[in-house]
Amino acid sequence: MTMRVLAGRQRSLSEFVAASARFGEREYMVHDDGTRWTYAAHARAVASVAAALRDKYGVRPGDRVAILAANRPEWLITFWATVSLGAVAVGMNGWWAGEEIRYGLADCEPAVLVADRRRLERLGGTDPGVPVVEMESGFAELVDHAPDAEIPTGPASEDDAALILYTSGTTGRPKGAVLTHRNVIAMQNVQALLAARAFAQMPAGFVPPPGRWLVNSPFFHVSGLLAGAVAALADGHTMVLFSGRFEVPAVLSLIAREKCTNWSVVPTVGWRVVNHPDVASYDLTSVTRLGGGSAAFAPELVERLQQVFPNAKGAMGVGYGLTESGGVATSAGAAQLTATRGAIGVAVPTVQVEIHGPDGERLPDGEEGEIWIRSPLVMLEYWRNSEATEKSLTPDRWLRTGDLGLARDGQFFMATRRSDLILRGGENVYPAEIEHCLDAHPDIAESVVVSVPHPELGEEVKAIVVPKSGGTLAPETLTEYLRDRLAYYKIPTHWEIRTEPLPRTPTGKVIRAVATGAKSADLVEE
């Protein structure tokens, strides 16, 4: 089996850290608490922490180092130190409760856990069973351990494991997706190619200045770590870190204060921004590029985001991918997103995307099926879970995504995740389509669409909606609102109006099972 790869690529993530020192006193990280790290200081810290992990905790190539914290500089320094040693960084979900944390530690068996105080407190004072470095009280000692150390180079080959990221676990136990050095490097190089393609349309001689990227997606997610931290370090950009629970005023204030130029959002977060009553009071003119992912963007949302961020008009790109696919598989620009509902774009360089039927056969254009992906970005396996690996990866390394979509003239369109699909009287009903319509309603803050059993139809459609602050909603008026926008069988026959925010994962996705009460909340909100 062969696949297309980039010839002129790095072979180990330690090469990124070593090369980043050339950016010197340029800022790499700006934390929302005011802490700032230059590239030079960061490189020195990574070298020292790598030495400390090796000398004090016996970390060797292949060992795991678990990281459990909010987005903060210590998280990234630990990550870069770990992969530079040839060890495996484990990005543990920062919203996990105590039981989930203990599950993750038992699953990955790390040599050491590096964590912040707030998350360690969730263990209730019990021994986690592994050595612990508390960031607030013990991390400075690692940074000072070997101030003259050099960044380790060469301990890992490109197909060695570099990173374990746990799936969100919205159903069942989380699974650890193992990403290799090749996977992470391929993700960065694809992003660099897409950026070069965008800048090629600028006037001759134009040299893009270093960006200031707002990063609010958590580092234990591919969008925060790979599309954010790794990409920024490779090209000398500055990351502005937002570490707390997402609140529109706090995030927009940070954008305005730090003059952020780039921001990547998920659709649910985008709707919260454009629908916020005070959005016009913030100076958002510094933002010149918007990105996004996790789900298809409604054309209405794309239009409104470009109104809120006027200097990013036309400079919006959305990528589709999964943790298991290494972060990105397709990409679509603003024009395509505005013109076509459900668009997720074309396959990015080195990535193959196909639509397959239930029997695994490739389907022709226009027929809906499961999205399959093969590329050098696709994960190696699920950590210590051969059964789940065999279900997700074919022998020739195609990833079965579980998402439904179709192809048309080289472009791809996403329908829904298979687990979200509602079958009403033999008709496929896609929750995202209904949610896009509801979220565009001027009085709705957020919504989620789910199924309810029906003895004859099999399933019916239910919408759970939250009105904007101070507003009221009536099922009758919402039903009338949808009649001009959707076929009759897609219109919810069950409505629930709530005043409390919908439960979400750290990346902003609504947890449907928790919203319906089918599953208890096992994530700790901040």
Note the pLDDT tens digit of each residue in 114-124.
Answer: 999 999 999 99
The pLDDT, as a whole number, for residue 170 is 44
Nearest to 274 by CA among 298, 294, 257: 298
For the chain, the structural domain boundaries read 14-23+36-181, 246-418, 421-515
The pLDDT, as a whole number, for residue 523 is 61
Say whether pLDDT at 57 is over 80.
yes
H/E run at residue 305: helix 299-308
The mean predicted confidence, pLDDT, of the chain is: 90
In sequence order, the 6+-apart residues with CB closer than 8 A to the CB of 138 are: none
The pLDDT, as a whole number, for residue 87 is 97
H/E run at residue 100: helix 98-108
Residue 55 CB coordination number (10 Å):
13
The pLDDT, as a whole number, for residue 371 is 96
Question: Domain 246-418, CATH 2.60.40.730 — does that match?
Answer: no
Inter-CA distances, 125 with 67, 95, 116, 118, 139, Å: 18, 18, 14, 12, 20
Mark 279-291 as b/e (b = at least 16 C-beta within 10 Å): beebebebbebbb
Note the pLDDT tens digit of each residue in 397-412.
Answer: 999 998 889 999 899 9
Give the CATH class of 14-23+36-181.
alpha beta
Task: Find the mean pLDDT for residues 487-498.
Answer: 92
| Of 101-105, 191-195, 496-500, the least confident | 191-195
Question: Which backbone phi and psi does 256 adopt, to 5 degrees?
Answer: -65, -45
Q: Count CA atoms closer than 13 A to 388's CA, side-chain side.
A: 18
Torsion sign (Cα): 247, 249, 250, 254: positive
Domain covering 421-515, topology: GMP Synthetase; Chain A, domain 3 (3.30.300)
Q: Considering only residues 198 and 275, tell me which one the structure prediction assigns the higher pLDDT.
A: 275
Nearest to 308 by CA among 267, 262, 274: 274
CB 118 within 8 A of CB 136: no
How does residue 524 score in pLDDT terms, banded at 50, 70 and 90?
low
The CA distance from 267 to 270, in Å, is: 5
To the nearest 10 degrees (0 to 180), the angle between helices 299-308 and 431-439 is 40
Strands (E), 56-198: 64-68, 88-91, 112-115, 132-134, 161-166, 176-180
* Common-topology check for domains 14-23+36-181 and 421-515: no
Note the pLDDT tens digit of each residue in 186-221.
Answer: 999 998 888 777 666 666 666 667 899 999 999 999
Phi-psi region of 517 (alpha: psi -120 to 50; beta: other; left: phi over 0): left
Q: Is 315 exposed, middle or buried (0-12, 13-18, 19+ CB in 10 A)?
A: middle
Note the pLDDT tens digit of each residue in 429-480.
Answer: 888 889 988 988 999 999 999 999 888 788 899 999 999 987 889 999 999 9
Residue 38 CB coordination number (10 Å):
16
Task: Find the mean pLDDT for residues 71-85.
Answer: 97
The pLDDT, as a whole number, for residue 119 is 95
Rounded to two decimals, what is the model's pTM?
A: 0.86
| Of 81-90, 329-338, 344-353, the least confident | 329-338
Tell me the sheet residues that pair with 114: 67, 133
Q: Which two tokens stand for residue 206?
A: 């134009």
The pLDDT, as a whole number, for residue 156 is 84
